[in-house]
Chain A
Amino acid sequence: MSVLLDHTAERASLSTSERQEKDADPTPLLRVKELRVSVATRAEVVHGISFDVPKGTAVGLVGESGSGKTLTCRSILGLLPAGAEISGGDIEFAGDSITTLARRDAARLRGTRIAAVFQDPASYLNPSITVGAQLAEVFRVRGRLKRRAARAEAVELLHAMGLHRPAHVYNQYPFELSGGMLQRVLIAIAIAGDPELLIADEATTALDVTVQAEVLELLSQLRRDRDLTLVVVSHDLAVIAQVSDDVHVFRDGHIVESGPTRQVLRTPRHPYTRSLVDSHERFGIDHVRRLGDGR
């Protein structure tokens, strides 16, 4: 008896192409149309962004700080900071517009079908409650499980996230865990509600490089095994390269280039993209090409 879909196991046994055939659904899970976001002083900071996120894919949004990628995410999540608002365009989720939803409906949507993990994992967990209790809370409140059953589910999910000794971790407070472990906990909490879309906004930026790779691998696995659709936001090309199928390059509130990740990173067309790739290589981190080859 569990909240999580049972048929993910079944789906995991299918190959990628078979799966893609199975749900050849033309409507993208998420569609952003001409999104415009303005800040209090009427200054527009996102100028008509459009992109689609097909179901089951992983889309990367890359760009420097201030390029608008985070604001775009926040708009999708309905978490724009005070003073910022959507001044134009539309966002559709599974065919329905969500920008026009009332707050309560939007909130329900967020909890169930769209989930997110952010940059500073420790700050997103209540410092005074054990991480296990916070995870179990989702099962109790959303899945209406009893205390014991919720705890069992939580421990199991922690194990699935790759945490060793999950029962021990369950009883830890956030300040007792490392960044990587915390991020795994947050990912667990995010998928405990069985969402269709997971947005990872600079989720690995604060982590060590090795841990970063592990967490990204976890996200990819989740995508394959639970049929999760991913949107990965980062300023780091290596992150995008490891995880996403398609990439959109953000600059100053515009998307300057889009396309399959491998292609864009190997043969960038827009000069800005080219400079991003170049500076990445110049500092000796040459995953990009290698990973691109490996796909």
Chain B
Amino acid sequence: MTTLNVRGGVGRTADSARGEGIARFSALSAVISTAVALGRALLIAVPVLLVSTFITFMLGGLTKQDPASLVLGDSATPHDIARMQAVFGLDKPLILRYFLWLWNALHGDLGSSWFTKIPVTDSIAQRLPVSLSVAVFALLIAVLLGGTFGILAAVRQGGWLDRVVTVVTSFLATVPGFVAAIALIIVFTLVIPVLPSGGWVPPSAGLLRWASFLVLPSLALSLDTAADLARQLRTGLAGTLHENYIVGAQMRGLSHTRIVFVHALRNGAGPAVAVLGMHVPRLIGGAVIVETVFALPGIGSLTKTAALEGDVPVVQGALLVTIVLVLISSAIVNVLLVRLRPAARREI
């Protein structure tokens, strides 16, 4: 039954060696399980990808825009139009066109603009860095601001900081993106003329200059996410900090910092990470407003202009790229969630 082992030499070595072997194995298996989880998440993404891209393609199909007549003008005969449509590939049935489009897309060919004839991939490639830098910056700012204030508010529950954070986050949730952008412009370009109110410069023209054009747009884009993150983190963490195992950790004499970051955050950050996952599409897609207000040459404005013109291939291509980006980031977020809380695997 119960044996209290008086520590002898032999038993000790065998156990330690076994312990080490198991440890190395567990490190490897952790990597493998993450890879598997990622693979599985990506696999689930396939039907989702199909559905969303189909909807996207159908959009083009439903449009009443007809590139053929636009190109040929009013004097075209129906015969000419039909021929033109064949050139555009519009004579084939919708489903077929969808799969053709998807197939080409997998090979990197998204077609060309109906109007400018520029390959869609080129237009997107040109603008992707802009949108990505804004989105990534915004994400970083959101995590930094939201994370810091969320954690602080949770750790000092009931204090003045907690109340201020609650009020501010609720307030920010009511501010439309463009209002935030306009407000930032007013403050940082009119009241304190410190930053440019719009435009874009590639990093090659000087990192500092590039950053100066990024700051306001990213900040404007991040506020919504930061507020949501702070609120979720505060709620999740506040609940966790009352759990028994936190008391246990305190009793073992672990430092406060360690308790918050190693123990509490693991369990309390779940809802926050999930919310972050939901915001990524918004960051990628919502950049449209920020791009408009700050005159940034990004994918959002590309899509908007193309949509208003009726340039279907461009719209479809841009949407496809955005969807893929969103799905990849969702997969990453899901994996992150499982890694954080292995116990949650059971609940899924």
Contacts and interface: CB of A to CB of B under 8 A. Distances in A.
User: Is there direct touching of A and B in the complex, by C-beta distance under 8 Å?
Assistant: yes
A175 B252 contact: no
A155 B16 contact: yes
B2 A167 contact: no
Nearest to A224: B4
Contacts of B6: 9, 12, 225
B266 A129 contact: yes
Contact of A123 (B15, B244, B249, B254): B244
Contacts of B47: none
B253 A156 contact: no
Given A111-B253, A126-B266, A152-B19, A221 B343 contact: no
Interface string A205-248: 00000000010011001100100000000000000000000000
Interface string A124-152: 11111100000001100110000010011
Given A128-B266, A155-B19, A171 B26 contact: yes
A222 B19 contact: no
Most buried by B among A156, A174, A218: A156
B244 A155 contact: no
Given A138-B252, A160-B4, A167-B18, 10 more contacts: A79-B247, A111-B253, A118-B244, A123-B244, A127-B245, A152-B20, A159-B11, A159-B15, A174-B343, A221-B4
8 contacts: A115-B251, A123-B245, A124-B245, A125-B248, A152-B15, A189-B248, A222-B4, A225-B6
Contacts of A112: 253
A281 B339 CA distance: 51
B79 interface: no
Interface string A26-39: 00000000000000
Interface in A174-215: 174-175, 186, 189, 193, 214
A170 interface: yes
A256 interface: no
Interface string B1-33: 111111100011001101111110010000000
A108 B252 CA distance: 9
Contacts of B342: 128, 173
Interface residues of A, number: 50
B2 A217 contact: yes
Contacts of B3: 162
B253 A151 contact: no
Given A128-B341, A128-B342, A162-B3, A167 B247 contact: no
Q: 6 tightest CB-CB pairs across the interface, nearest first? A: A111-B253, A155-B19, A152-B16, A123-B244, A124-B248, A221-B4
A86 B7 CA distance: 42
A12 B341 CA distance: 42
B346 A79 contact: no
Contact of B251 (A111, A120, A148, A221): A111
Interface of A: 9, 12, 77, 79, 107-108, 110-112, 115-116, 118, 120, 123-129, 137-138, 141-142, 148, 151-152, 154-156, 159-160, 162, 166-168, 170-171, 173-175, 186, 189, 193, 214, 217-218, 221-222, 225
Main secondary structure of the interface of A (DSSP, over half): helix
A128 B4 contact: no
Nearest to A217: B2
B48 to A, nearest CB: 28
A108 B2 contact: no
Most buried by A among B1, B5, B15, B253: B253
B243 A214 contact: no
B25 to A, nearest CB: 9
B15 A148 contact: no
Nearest to B246: A126
Contacts of B266: 126, 128-129
A160 B21 CA distance: 20
Contacts of B267: 126-128
Contacts of A186: 248
Contacts of A225: 4, 6
Contacts of B346: 175
A169 B244 CA distance: 22
Contacts of B21: 167
Contacts of A137: 252, 254
A129 to B, nearest CB: 7
A122 B244 CA distance: 9
Given A173-B343, A214-B1, A110 B251 contact: yes
Nearest to A219: B2
Most buried by A among B26, B250, B252, B254: B252
B263 interface: yes
Contacts of B250: 107, 110
A254 to B, nearest CB: 28
A276 to B, nearest CB: 28
B73 to A, nearest CB: 66
Nearest to B340: A128
A241 B232 CA distance: 49
Interface string B33-68: 000000000000000000000000000000000000
Contacts of B1: 162, 214, 217
Interface in B220-260: 243-245, 247-255, 258
